[in-house]
A and B are shown apart, each in its own frame.
Chain A
Protein backbone atom coordinates (compact mmCIF):
# COMPACT_ATOMS: atom_id res chain seq x y z
CA UNK A 1 0.00 0.00 0.00
CA UNK A 2 1.46 3.34 -1.02
CA UNK A 3 0.25 6.79 0.02
CA UNK A 4 1.55 10.15 -1.03
CA UNK A 5 1.01 13.59 0.42
CA UNK A 6 1.97 16.89 -1.10
CA UNK A 7 2.79 19.81 1.21
CA UNK A 8 2.55 23.16 -0.54
CA UNK A 9 2.78 26.79 0.45
CA UNK A 10 5.00 29.87 0.49
CA UNK A 11 8.73 29.49 0.95
CA UNK A 12 9.35 30.16 4.65
CA UNK A 13 6.15 28.48 5.90
CA UNK A 14 8.05 25.37 6.94
CA UNK A 15 6.73 23.21 4.13
CA UNK A 16 9.89 21.15 3.76
CA UNK A 17 10.19 20.67 7.52
CA UNK A 18 6.65 19.47 8.08
CA UNK A 19 7.09 17.04 5.18
CA UNK A 20 10.36 15.83 6.66
CA UNK A 21 8.74 15.27 10.06
CA UNK A 22 6.06 13.13 8.48
CA UNK A 23 8.65 11.14 6.51
CA UNK A 24 10.73 10.67 9.64
CA UNK A 25 7.75 9.33 11.58
CA UNK A 26 6.85 6.92 8.77
CA UNK A 27 10.46 5.68 8.67
CA UNK A 28 10.37 5.07 12.43
CA UNK A 29 7.23 3.01 11.91
CA UNK A 30 9.19 0.81 9.55
CA UNK A 31 7.78 2.06 6.27
CA UNK A 32 9.71 2.82 3.13
CA UNK A 33 9.71 6.58 2.65
CA UNK A 34 10.79 9.14 0.11
CA UNK A 35 10.88 12.94 0.57
CA UNK A 36 11.00 14.81 -2.71
CA UNK A 37 11.32 18.60 -2.66
CA UNK A 38 10.56 20.88 -5.53
CA UNK A 39 13.86 22.57 -6.02
CA UNK A 40 13.39 25.20 -8.70
CA UNK A 41 15.06 28.59 -8.39
CA UNK A 42 13.13 29.27 -5.17
CA UNK A 43 13.15 32.17 -2.76
CA UNK A 44 11.52 33.14 0.52
CA UNK A 45 7.94 34.07 -0.29
CA UNK A 46 7.94 32.06 -3.51
CA UNK A 47 6.09 28.79 -3.85
CA UNK A 48 7.46 25.65 -2.25
CA UNK A 49 6.13 22.18 -2.40
CA UNK A 50 7.33 18.82 -1.30
CA UNK A 51 5.99 15.30 -1.68
CA UNK A 52 6.30 12.49 0.84
CA UNK A 53 5.74 8.91 -0.28
CA UNK A 54 5.07 6.22 2.34
CA UNK A 55 4.85 2.59 1.36
CA UNK A 56 5.08 -0.90 2.77
CA UNK A 57 7.32 -1.96 -0.11
CA UNK A 58 10.11 -0.51 -2.23
CA UNK A 59 9.13 2.84 -3.68
CA UNK A 60 9.38 3.21 -7.44
CA UNK A 61 8.76 6.47 -9.20
CA UNK A 62 9.64 9.70 -7.40
CA UNK A 63 7.45 11.50 -9.92
CA UNK A 64 4.02 11.82 -8.28
CA UNK A 65 1.43 13.60 -10.39
CA UNK A 66 -1.61 12.51 -8.36
CA UNK A 67 -0.92 12.39 -4.62
CA UNK A 68 -3.33 10.72 -2.21
CA UNK A 69 -3.49 13.85 -0.02
CA UNK A 70 -2.70 17.57 -0.04
CA UNK A 71 -1.71 19.99 2.70
CA UNK A 72 -2.29 23.47 1.23
CA UNK A 73 -0.82 26.26 3.32
CA UNK A 74 -1.69 29.11 0.96
CA UNK A 75 -4.25 29.92 -1.71
CA UNK A 76 -2.09 29.47 -4.85
CA UNK A 77 -1.16 25.98 -3.62
CA UNK A 78 -4.78 24.95 -3.18
CA UNK A 79 -5.74 26.36 -6.56
CA UNK A 80 -2.83 24.66 -8.26
CA UNK A 81 -3.01 21.23 -6.66
CA UNK A 82 -6.59 20.58 -5.44
CA UNK A 83 -7.55 19.08 -8.78
CA UNK A 84 -4.73 16.49 -8.83
CA UNK A 85 -5.52 14.84 -5.47
CA UNK A 86 -6.85 11.28 -5.76
CA UNK A 87 -10.51 10.76 -4.81
CA UNK A 88 -11.15 10.18 -1.08
CA UNK A 89 -7.92 11.95 -0.14
CA UNK A 90 -7.57 14.48 2.63
CA UNK A 91 -7.18 18.09 1.51
CA UNK A 92 -6.02 20.24 4.39
CA UNK A 93 -6.86 23.90 3.86
CA UNK A 94 -5.07 26.54 5.95
CA UNK A 95 -8.17 28.69 6.31
CA UNK A 96 -6.18 31.55 7.87
CA UNK A 97 -4.78 32.32 4.43
CA UNK A 98 -7.24 30.56 2.13
CA UNK A 99 -10.75 32.02 1.94
CA UNK A 100 -11.92 29.46 -0.66
CA UNK A 101 -12.46 25.69 -0.70
CA UNK A 102 -11.20 22.95 -3.00
CA UNK A 103 -14.33 22.78 -5.16
CA UNK A 104 -14.16 18.97 -4.97
CA UNK A 105 -16.98 16.76 -3.73
CA UNK A 106 -14.91 13.59 -3.68
CA UNK A 107 -12.22 14.54 -1.15
CA UNK A 108 -12.30 15.09 2.61
CA UNK A 109 -11.65 18.74 3.32
CA UNK A 110 -9.93 19.46 6.62
CA UNK A 111 -10.25 23.13 7.49
CA UNK A 112 -7.50 24.31 9.85
CA UNK A 113 -6.91 27.97 10.77
CA UNK A 114 -3.24 27.11 11.24
CA UNK A 115 -1.84 30.64 11.30
CA UNK A 116 -4.44 31.92 13.76
CA UNK A 117 -3.82 29.01 16.11
CA UNK A 118 -0.06 29.48 15.83
CA UNK A 119 -0.27 33.22 16.52
CA UNK A 120 -2.50 32.49 19.49
CA UNK A 121 0.16 30.15 20.86
CA UNK A 122 2.86 32.76 20.47
CA UNK A 123 4.44 32.40 17.01
CA UNK A 124 3.13 32.10 13.49
CA UNK A 125 6.18 29.97 12.76
CA UNK A 126 4.57 26.89 14.31
CA UNK A 127 1.63 26.92 11.87
CA UNK A 128 3.31 24.09 9.96
CA UNK A 129 3.34 21.91 13.10
CA UNK A 130 -0.39 22.58 13.66
CA UNK A 131 -0.98 21.52 10.06
CA UNK A 132 1.14 18.38 10.06
CA UNK A 133 -0.39 17.02 13.26
CA UNK A 134 -3.94 17.78 12.10
CA UNK A 135 -3.17 16.11 8.79
CA UNK A 136 -1.60 13.04 10.39
CA UNK A 137 -4.53 12.63 12.78
CA UNK A 138 -7.13 12.86 10.00
CA UNK A 139 -5.36 10.84 7.32
CA UNK A 140 -3.90 8.14 9.54
CA UNK A 141 -0.81 8.17 7.34
CA UNK A 142 1.49 7.93 10.36
CA UNK A 143 1.13 7.22 14.07
CA UNK A 144 0.63 10.57 15.81
CA UNK A 145 2.56 9.55 18.93
CA UNK A 146 5.61 8.71 16.83
CA UNK A 147 5.17 11.95 14.91
CA UNK A 148 5.08 13.83 18.20
CA UNK A 149 8.42 12.29 19.18
CA UNK A 150 9.86 13.28 15.81
CA UNK A 151 8.79 16.90 16.35
CA UNK A 152 10.44 16.82 19.75
CA UNK A 153 13.69 15.41 18.42
CA UNK A 154 13.72 17.85 15.52
CA UNK A 155 13.85 20.71 18.02
CA UNK A 156 16.24 18.93 20.41
CA UNK A 157 19.00 21.46 19.73
CA UNK A 158 16.58 24.37 20.34
CA UNK A 159 14.94 23.03 23.47
CA UNK A 160 13.22 26.31 24.32
CA UNK A 161 11.04 25.88 21.24
CA UNK A 162 9.77 22.45 22.25
CA UNK A 163 6.86 23.57 24.51
CA UNK A 164 5.53 25.92 21.81
CA UNK A 165 5.69 23.21 19.18
CA UNK A 166 4.11 20.64 21.48
CA UNK A 167 1.22 23.03 22.07
CA UNK A 168 0.93 23.53 18.32
CA UNK A 169 1.00 19.78 17.82
CA UNK A 170 -1.78 19.20 20.35
CA UNK A 171 -3.98 21.93 18.87
CA UNK A 172 -3.57 20.41 15.41
CA UNK A 173 -4.34 16.97 16.78
CA UNK A 174 -7.57 18.19 18.33
CA UNK A 175 -8.81 19.53 14.99
CA UNK A 176 -7.61 16.52 13.04
CA UNK A 177 -9.41 14.09 15.32
CA UNK A 178 -12.65 16.04 15.54
Chain B
Protein backbone atom coordinates (compact mmCIF):
# COMPACT_ATOMS: atom_id res chain seq x y z
CA UNK B 1 0.00 0.00 0.00
CA UNK B 2 1.22 3.49 -0.87
CA UNK B 3 2.20 5.84 1.87
CA UNK B 4 -0.34 8.42 2.97
CA UNK B 5 0.26 11.71 4.75
CA UNK B 6 -1.62 11.61 8.04
CA UNK B 7 -1.78 13.30 11.41
CA UNK B 8 -0.65 11.08 14.26
CA UNK B 9 -4.10 11.20 15.84
CA UNK B 10 -5.87 10.16 12.66
CA UNK B 11 -3.33 7.44 11.97
CA UNK B 12 -3.86 5.96 15.44
CA UNK B 13 -7.60 5.83 14.72
CA UNK B 14 -7.09 4.09 11.40
CA UNK B 15 -4.55 1.69 12.92
CA UNK B 16 -7.11 0.61 15.52
CA UNK B 17 -9.58 -0.28 12.77
CA UNK B 18 -6.89 -2.16 10.84
CA UNK B 19 -6.16 -4.06 14.05
CA UNK B 20 -9.77 -5.22 14.20
CA UNK B 21 -10.98 -2.82 16.88
CA UNK B 22 -14.58 -1.85 16.16
CA UNK B 23 -15.38 -0.30 19.53
CA UNK B 24 -14.15 3.16 20.42
CA UNK B 25 -15.48 5.24 23.27
CA UNK B 26 -13.98 8.61 24.15
CA UNK B 27 -14.42 12.11 25.43
CA UNK B 28 -12.77 14.97 23.52
CA UNK B 29 -9.70 16.72 24.88
CA UNK B 30 -6.85 18.62 23.21
CA UNK B 31 -4.40 17.50 21.81
CA UNK B 32 -6.02 14.22 20.75
CA UNK B 33 -9.58 15.12 19.72
CA UNK B 34 -8.81 14.30 16.07
CA UNK B 35 -8.83 10.59 16.95
CA UNK B 36 -12.48 10.90 17.97
CA UNK B 37 -13.26 13.11 14.98
CA UNK B 38 -11.70 10.58 12.65
CA UNK B 39 -13.31 7.50 14.19
CA UNK B 40 -16.75 9.14 14.49
CA UNK B 41 -16.70 9.26 10.71
CA UNK B 42 -14.80 6.09 9.98
CA UNK B 43 -16.24 3.50 12.41
CA UNK B 44 -19.81 3.57 11.02
CA UNK B 45 -18.32 2.74 7.59
CA UNK B 46 -17.01 -0.56 8.96
CA UNK B 47 -20.03 -1.34 11.18
CA UNK B 48 -18.13 -0.28 14.27
CA UNK B 49 -19.36 1.63 17.29
CA UNK B 50 -18.29 5.16 18.11
CA UNK B 51 -19.67 6.52 21.33
CA UNK B 52 -18.84 9.78 23.06
CA UNK B 53 -19.21 9.29 26.79
CA UNK B 54 -20.44 11.97 29.13
CA UNK B 55 -17.05 12.09 30.84
CA UNK B 56 -13.77 10.21 30.95
CA UNK B 57 -14.96 8.42 34.08
CA UNK B 58 -17.88 7.01 32.11
CA UNK B 59 -15.65 6.18 29.15
CA UNK B 60 -13.31 4.17 31.39
CA UNK B 61 -16.19 1.93 32.42
CA UNK B 62 -17.57 1.68 28.88
CA UNK B 63 -14.16 0.29 27.97
CA UNK B 64 -14.36 -2.12 30.92
CA UNK B 65 -17.79 -3.31 29.76
CA UNK B 66 -16.78 -3.95 26.17
CA UNK B 67 -13.50 -5.57 27.23
CA UNK B 68 -15.34 -7.89 29.66
CA UNK B 69 -17.43 -9.04 26.70
CA UNK B 70 -14.24 -9.99 24.89
CA UNK B 71 -14.48 -7.21 22.29
CA UNK B 72 -11.45 -5.34 20.98
CA UNK B 73 -11.86 -1.87 22.40
CA UNK B 74 -9.85 1.34 22.60
CA UNK B 75 -10.07 4.82 23.98
CA UNK B 76 -7.84 7.84 23.53
CA UNK B 77 -7.43 10.78 25.83
CA UNK B 78 -4.91 13.23 27.17
CA UNK B 79 -3.46 13.60 30.63
CA UNK B 80 -6.37 14.99 32.75
CA UNK B 81 -8.72 12.59 31.00
CA UNK B 82 -6.46 9.63 31.70
CA UNK B 83 -6.41 10.59 35.39
CA UNK B 84 -10.20 10.33 35.38
CA UNK B 85 -10.00 6.92 33.69
CA UNK B 86 -7.38 5.61 36.06
CA UNK B 87 -9.89 4.08 38.48
CA UNK B 88 -11.40 2.05 35.65
CA UNK B 89 -7.93 1.05 34.42
CA UNK B 90 -7.21 -0.40 37.87
CA UNK B 91 -10.50 -2.36 37.75
CA UNK B 92 -9.70 -3.56 34.21
CA UNK B 93 -6.25 -4.72 35.32
CA UNK B 94 -7.79 -6.41 38.37
CA UNK B 95 -10.49 -8.12 36.33
CA UNK B 96 -7.92 -9.13 33.70
CA UNK B 97 -9.57 -7.62 30.64
CA UNK B 98 -7.69 -6.66 27.46
CA UNK B 99 -8.12 -3.01 26.46
CA UNK B 100 -6.07 -0.33 24.73
CA UNK B 101 -5.60 3.16 26.14
CA UNK B 102 -3.87 5.95 24.24
CA UNK B 103 -2.55 8.95 26.15
CA UNK B 104 -1.48 11.88 23.97
CA UNK B 105 0.23 13.61 26.86
CA UNK B 106 -0.09 17.36 27.52
CA UNK B 107 1.45 19.55 30.18
CA UNK B 108 0.35 19.17 33.80
CA UNK B 109 -0.31 18.93 36.68
CA UNK B 110 -4.00 19.72 36.88
CA UNK B 111 -5.35 21.15 33.65
CA UNK B 112 -1.78 22.22 32.87
CA UNK B 113 -1.60 23.22 29.22
CA UNK B 114 -2.31 21.72 25.84
CA UNK B 115 1.21 21.48 24.45
CA UNK B 116 3.36 18.32 24.35
CA UNK B 117 4.81 16.87 27.52
CA UNK B 118 5.99 13.55 28.94
CA UNK B 119 4.81 14.39 32.43
CA UNK B 120 2.66 11.25 32.71
CA UNK B 121 5.59 8.82 32.77
CA UNK B 122 5.04 7.86 36.39
CA UNK B 123 1.29 7.59 35.90
CA UNK B 124 1.73 5.30 32.91
CA UNK B 125 4.54 3.08 34.16
CA UNK B 126 3.93 2.90 37.88
CA UNK B 127 0.16 2.52 37.76
CA UNK B 128 -2.03 5.62 37.71
CA UNK B 129 -4.76 3.86 39.63
CA UNK B 130 -4.67 1.97 42.90
CA UNK B 131 -3.49 -1.54 43.64
CA UNK B 132 -0.66 -3.70 42.44
CA UNK B 133 -0.84 -3.49 38.68
CA UNK B 134 1.11 -2.46 35.64
CA UNK B 135 0.22 -1.68 32.07
CA UNK B 136 2.40 -2.58 29.16
CA UNK B 137 3.36 0.91 27.94
CA UNK B 138 4.68 1.68 24.45
CA UNK B 139 6.02 5.08 23.41
CA UNK B 140 6.14 5.91 19.68
CA UNK B 141 8.61 8.45 18.27
CA UNK B 142 6.55 9.32 15.21
CA UNK B 143 3.43 8.64 13.25
CA UNK B 144 4.59 5.38 11.64
CA UNK B 145 5.58 3.89 14.96
CA UNK B 146 2.32 5.09 16.53
CA UNK B 147 0.50 3.05 13.88
CA UNK B 148 2.59 -0.06 14.45
CA UNK B 149 2.33 0.15 18.23
CA UNK B 150 -1.44 0.65 18.08
CA UNK B 151 -1.77 -2.43 15.88
CA UNK B 152 0.44 -4.48 18.21
CA UNK B 153 -1.36 -3.24 21.31
CA UNK B 154 -4.50 -5.34 20.74
CA UNK B 155 -2.84 -8.77 20.52
CA UNK B 156 -0.56 -7.82 23.43
CA UNK B 157 -3.55 -6.83 25.54
CA UNK B 158 -5.08 -10.22 24.74
CA UNK B 159 -1.85 -12.12 25.41
CA UNK B 160 -1.62 -10.65 28.92
CA UNK B 161 -5.35 -10.04 29.43
CA UNK B 162 -4.78 -6.53 30.68
CA UNK B 163 -4.67 -2.86 29.75
CA UNK B 164 -2.00 -1.73 27.28
CA UNK B 165 -1.12 1.92 26.91
CA UNK B 166 0.31 3.91 24.00
CA UNK B 167 1.98 6.97 25.47
CA UNK B 168 2.49 9.67 22.87
CA UNK B 169 2.68 13.40 23.30
CA UNK B 170 0.99 16.38 21.71
CA UNK B 171 3.50 16.58 18.87
CA UNK B 172 3.09 12.92 17.89
CA UNK B 173 -0.67 13.48 17.80
CA UNK B 174 -0.62 16.74 15.89
CA UNK B 175 2.13 16.30 13.33
CA UNK B 176 1.72 14.72 9.91
CA UNK B 177 4.13 12.19 8.49
CA UNK B 178 3.87 9.64 5.69
CA UNK B 179 2.54 6.32 6.99
CA UNK B 180 1.86 2.79 5.86
CA UNK B 181 -0.50 0.38 7.58
CA UNK B 182 1.27 -2.99 7.68
CA UNK B 183 -1.39 -5.66 7.14
CA UNK B 184 0.87 -8.30 8.66
CA UNK B 185 0.40 -6.71 12.10
CA UNK B 186 -3.24 -7.76 12.11
CA UNK B 187 -3.85 -10.82 14.26
CA UNK B 188 -7.23 -12.52 14.53
CA UNK B 189 -8.87 -12.19 17.96
CA UNK B 190 -8.07 -14.96 20.41
CA UNK B 191 -10.70 -17.31 21.79
CA UNK B 192 -12.22 -15.63 24.82
CA UNK B 193 -14.68 -18.33 25.83
CA UNK B 194 -12.50 -19.21 28.82
CA UNK B 195 -13.16 -15.94 30.58
CA UNK B 196 -15.29 -13.40 28.74
CA UNK B 197 -19.00 -12.74 29.23
CA UNK B 198 -19.91 -13.46 25.64
CA UNK B 199 -23.67 -13.88 26.15
CA UNK B 200 -26.26 -16.47 27.14
CA UNK B 201 -26.43 -18.05 23.71
CA UNK B 202 -22.84 -19.21 24.17
CA UNK B 203 -23.48 -20.62 27.64
CA UNK B 204 -24.29 -24.12 26.40
CA UNK B 205 -20.83 -24.49 24.97
CA UNK B 206 -18.87 -23.00 27.86
CA UNK B 207 -18.79 -22.65 31.62
CA UNK B 208 -20.29 -19.65 33.38
CA UNK B 209 -17.84 -16.73 33.23
CA UNK B 210 -17.71 -13.98 35.82
CA UNK B 211 -15.53 -10.91 35.25
CA UNK B 212 -14.65 -9.22 38.53
CA UNK B 213 -11.86 -7.61 40.51
CA UNK B 214 -13.30 -8.30 44.01
CA UNK B 215 -11.62 -11.07 46.03
CA UNK B 216 -12.56 -10.88 49.72
CA UNK B 217 -10.59 -13.97 50.72
CA UNK B 218 -7.02 -12.69 51.31
CA UNK B 219 -5.46 -15.97 50.28
CA UNK B 220 -7.29 -15.92 46.97
CA UNK B 221 -6.49 -12.24 46.39
CA UNK B 222 -2.86 -12.95 47.21
CA UNK B 223 -2.69 -15.69 44.61
CA UNK B 224 -4.45 -13.38 42.14
CA UNK B 225 -1.76 -10.76 42.81
CA UNK B 226 0.92 -13.42 42.35
CA UNK B 227 -0.62 -14.34 39.01
CA UNK B 228 -0.56 -10.71 37.90
CA UNK B 229 3.05 -10.43 39.03
CA UNK B 230 4.00 -13.49 37.02
CA UNK B 231 2.51 -11.80 33.97
CA UNK B 232 4.47 -8.61 34.55
CA UNK B 233 7.59 -10.75 34.95
CA UNK B 234 6.78 -12.45 31.66
CA UNK B 235 6.41 -9.00 30.01
CA UNK B 236 9.88 -8.14 31.32
CA UNK B 237 11.26 -11.29 29.68
CA UNK B 238 9.38 -11.11 26.38
CA UNK B 239 8.19 -7.62 25.52
CA UNK B 240 11.10 -5.23 26.11
CA UNK B 241 11.70 -3.15 22.99
CA UNK B 242 14.21 -0.39 22.45
CA UNK B 243 16.22 1.28 19.70
CA UNK B 244 19.98 1.68 20.13
CA UNK B 245 21.46 4.71 18.35
CA UNK B 246 25.14 5.33 17.56
CA UNK B 247 26.05 2.63 20.03
CA UNK B 248 28.60 0.51 18.17
CA UNK B 249 31.74 2.60 18.54
CA UNK B 250 33.27 4.46 21.45
CA UNK B 251 31.15 7.16 23.04
CA UNK B 252 31.66 9.59 25.88
CA UNK B 253 28.08 9.84 27.08
CA UNK B 254 24.91 7.78 26.92
CA UNK B 255 21.55 9.48 26.44
CA UNK B 256 18.28 7.78 27.31
CA UNK B 257 15.20 9.41 25.82
CA UNK B 258 11.93 8.40 24.18
CA UNK B 259 9.13 9.74 22.01
CA UNK B 260 9.45 13.22 20.51
CA UNK B 261 12.37 13.94 22.83
CA UNK B 262 14.39 11.11 21.29
CA UNK B 263 14.08 12.65 17.85
CA UNK B 264 15.49 15.91 19.14
CA UNK B 265 18.30 13.91 20.74
CA UNK B 266 19.03 12.08 17.48
CA UNK B 267 19.55 15.41 15.72
CA UNK B 268 21.78 16.56 18.57
CA UNK B 269 23.79 13.30 18.45
CA UNK B 270 24.20 13.58 14.65
CA UNK B 271 25.38 17.18 14.98
CA UNK B 272 27.87 16.30 17.74
CA UNK B 273 29.16 13.42 15.64
CA UNK B 274 30.15 15.83 12.87
CA UNK B 275 32.24 17.62 15.48
CA UNK B 276 33.89 14.35 16.49
CA UNK B 277 32.04 14.16 19.80
CA UNK B 278 30.46 10.72 20.08
CA UNK B 279 27.30 10.23 22.09
CA UNK B 280 25.12 7.10 22.11
CA UNK B 281 21.44 6.71 22.86
CA UNK B 282 19.06 4.01 24.02
CA UNK B 283 15.49 4.86 23.08
CA UNK B 284 12.98 2.84 25.11
CA UNK B 285 10.07 1.84 22.87
CA UNK B 286 8.47 0.08 25.83
CA UNK B 287 8.47 2.18 29.00
CA UNK B 288 7.08 -0.77 30.93
CA UNK B 289 8.77 -3.19 30.70
CA UNK B 290 11.83 -0.93 30.74
CA UNK B 291 15.01 -1.83 28.77
CA UNK B 292 17.08 -2.16 31.95
CA UNK B 293 19.59 -4.63 30.56
CA UNK B 294 20.30 -2.64 27.38
CA UNK B 295 20.89 0.53 29.37
CA UNK B 296 23.04 -1.31 31.89
CA UNK B 297 25.21 -2.76 29.13
CA UNK B 298 25.46 0.50 27.19
CA UNK B 299 26.50 2.39 30.33
CA UNK B 300 29.16 -0.25 31.02
CA UNK B 301 31.20 0.67 27.93
CA UNK B 302 34.57 1.89 29.16
CA UNK B 303 34.58 5.11 27.12
CA UNK B 304 31.17 6.11 28.53
CA UNK B 305 31.66 8.65 31.30
CA UNK B 306 28.07 9.42 32.22
CA UNK B 307 24.42 8.70 31.52
CA UNK B 308 21.73 11.35 31.09
CA UNK B 309 17.98 10.87 30.97
CA UNK B 310 16.53 13.57 28.71
CA UNK B 311 12.81 14.06 29.19
CA UNK B 312 9.93 16.44 28.68
CA UNK B 313 9.24 15.86 32.37
CA UNK B 314 10.87 16.94 35.58
CA UNK B 315 12.99 13.87 36.26
CA UNK B 316 10.73 10.83 36.06
CA UNK B 317 12.33 8.30 33.72
CA UNK B 318 15.69 9.15 35.29
CA UNK B 319 14.66 6.97 38.26
CA UNK B 320 14.34 3.92 36.00
CA UNK B 321 17.59 4.83 34.23
CA UNK B 322 19.37 5.10 37.55
CA UNK B 323 17.92 1.74 38.60
CA UNK B 324 19.21 0.22 35.35
CA UNK B 325 22.72 1.68 35.46
CA UNK B 326 23.11 0.43 39.04
CA UNK B 327 25.76 2.92 40.07
CA UNK B 328 28.32 2.07 37.36
CA UNK B 329 28.37 5.67 36.07
CA UNK B 330 26.83 8.94 37.25
CA UNK B 331 23.22 9.35 36.12
CA UNK B 332 21.65 12.79 35.73
CA UNK B 333 18.51 14.36 34.31
CA UNK B 334 17.98 17.05 31.74
CA UNK B 335 14.74 18.37 30.34
CA UNK B 336 12.03 20.93 29.99
CA UNK B 337 8.35 20.75 30.60
CA UNK B 338 5.01 22.47 30.30
CA UNK B 339 4.95 22.33 26.52
CA UNK B 340 8.52 23.52 26.03
CA UNK B 341 10.58 20.98 24.11
CA UNK B 342 14.36 21.21 24.47
CA UNK B 343 16.03 22.13 21.17
CA UNK B 344 18.85 20.07 19.68
CA UNK B 345 21.19 22.97 20.57
CA UNK B 346 20.13 22.86 24.23
CA UNK B 347 20.68 19.11 24.33
CA UNK B 348 24.12 19.49 22.73
CA UNK B 349 25.16 22.20 25.14
CA UNK B 350 24.03 20.17 28.11
CA UNK B 351 25.62 16.89 27.03
CA UNK B 352 28.93 18.64 26.26
CA UNK B 353 28.87 20.20 29.73
CA UNK B 354 28.72 16.75 31.33
CA UNK B 355 31.95 15.42 29.85
B5 touches A40 (CB 8 A): no
Q: Is the CB of B5 within 8 A of A61?
A: no
Interface size on B, residues (CB 8 A): 25
One digit per residue, 1 when the CB lies within 8 angstroms of any chain B CB and 0 when it does not, for chain A 45-59 equals 000000000000011
Q: Is the CB of B266 within 8 A of A60?
A: yes
Asked whether, in the complex, the Cβ of B174 is within 8 Å of the Cβ of A24, the reply is no
**A27 x B267 contact (CB < 8 A):** no
Nearest chain B residue, comparing its CB with the CB of A60:
B267
Point out the residues of chain B lying under 8 angstroms from A23, CB to CB. Answer: 5, 176
Contact A27–B171 (Cβ < 8 Å) = no
- B5 & A63 in contact (Cβ 8 Å cutoff): no
Closest CB of chain B to A57's CB: distance in Å? Answer: 10
Cα A62 to Cα B264 with chains together (Å): 7
- Bound Cα distance A32, B142 (Å): 12
Residues of A contacting B171 with CB < 8 Å?
36, 62
B28 within 8 A of A: no
Closest to A24 in B: B5
Instruction: Pick the residue among B3, B115, B178, B266 that contacts A61 (CB under 8 A).
Output: B266
B279 CB, nearest partner CB in chain A, Å: 13
Closest to B346 in A: A63
Bound CA–CA A24/B179 (angstroms): 12
- Residues A33 and B115 in contact, CB atoms below 8 Å apart: no
Q: Does A148 contact B (CB under 8 A)?
A: no
Please count how many residues in chain A sit with their CB below 8 Å of the partner chain's CB atoms.
Answer: 20
Given that A20-B5, A61-B343 are contacting pairs, would A34 and B175 also be in contact in the complex, using a CB cutoff of 8 Å? yes
Query: Would B114 and A41 count as touching, CB distance under 8 A?
Result: yes
Interface pair A62/B114, CB less than 8 Å apart:
no
Q: A23-B5, A40-B114, A65-B343 are in contact. Are A60 and B263 (CB under 8 A)?
A: yes
B231-271, CB under 8 A of A: which get 1 and which 0? 00000000000000000000000000000100110111010
Is B5's CB under 8 angstroms from A39's CB? no
User: Residue A135 at the B interface, CB < 8 A?
Assistant: no
A10 interface hit (Cβ, 8 Å): no
- Tell me which residues across on chain B come within 8 A of A34, comparing CB atoms: 175-177
Q: Give chain A nearest CB distance to B337 CB in angstroms.
A: 14
Interface string of A1-35 (1 = CB under 8 A from B): 00000000000000000001001100100001111
Chain A min CB distance to B336 (Å): 10
Nearest chain A CB to B9 CB, angstrom units: 11
> Whole-angstrom distance from the CB of B4 to the nearest CB of chain A?
9
Q: Contact at B31–A39, with CB atoms within 8 Å?
A: yes
Are B267 and A35 in contact, with the CB atoms below 8 A? no
Complex contact B170–A33 (CB within 8 A)? no
| Beta-carbon contact of B344 and A61 below 8 Å | yes
Q: In chain A, what residue has the closest Cβ to B269? A: A60
State whether the Cβ of A87 lies closer than 8 Å to any Cβ in chain B.
no
Contacts of B343 in A (CB 8 A): 61, 63, 65
CB-defined contacts of B270 to chain A, threshold 8 Å: 60
CB A96 to nearest CB in B, in angstroms, measures: 28
The reply to whether A27 and B174 contact each other, CB–CB distance below 8 Å, is: no
Any B CB within 8 A of the CB of A37: yes
| Chain A residue with Cβ nearest B172 | A62
Nearest residue (CB) in A for B3 is: A27
**Does B341 interact with chain A (Cβ within 8 Å)?**
yes
B298-355: which residues lie under 8 A (CB-CB) from chain A?
A: 341-345
Chain A residues closer than 8 Å to B264, beta-carbon distance: 60-63
- Distance in angstroms from B331 CB to nearest chain A CB is 24
Which of A20, A41, A62 interacts with B263 by CB under 8 Å? Answer: A62
- Within the assembled complex, what's the spacing in Å between the Cα atoms of A40 and B106? 12
The docked-state distance in angstroms from the alpha carbon of A39 to that of B30 is 9
Q: Which residues of B contact A61 (CB under 8 A)?
A: 263-264, 266-268, 343-344
Interface string of B1-41 (1 = CB under 8 A from A): 00101000000000000000000000000110000000000
Give A12 to B147 CA distance when docked, in angstroms: 30
Contact flags (1/0) for B174-206 with A, using CB distance below 8 Å?
111110000000000000000000000000000
Residues of B near A65 (CB, < 8 A) are: 343, 345
CA distance in complex: A35, B5 (Å): 9
Residue ID in chain A nearest B174 by CB atoms? A39
Nearest neighbor of B342 in chain A, beta-carbon distance:
A63
Contact A37 B175 (CB under 8 A): yes
CB-defined A-B contacts under 8 Å, sample of 11: A20-B5, A20-B176, A27-B3, A27-B178, A33-B178, A39-B30, A39-B170, A40-B114, A60-B263, A60-B270, A60-B344
The 6 A-B pairs at the shortest CB distance, nearest first, are namely A60-B267, A35-B176, A61-B267, A60-B266, A61-B264, A27-B178
Known: A60-B264, A65-B343. 12 other contacts (CB 8 A): A20-B5, A27-B178, A32-B178, A33-B178, A34-B177, A35-B5, A39-B30, A39-B170, A41-B114, A60-B267, A63-B264, A63-B343
Q: CB within 8 Å of B: which residues of A?
A: 20, 23-24, 27, 32-37, 39-41, 58-63, 65
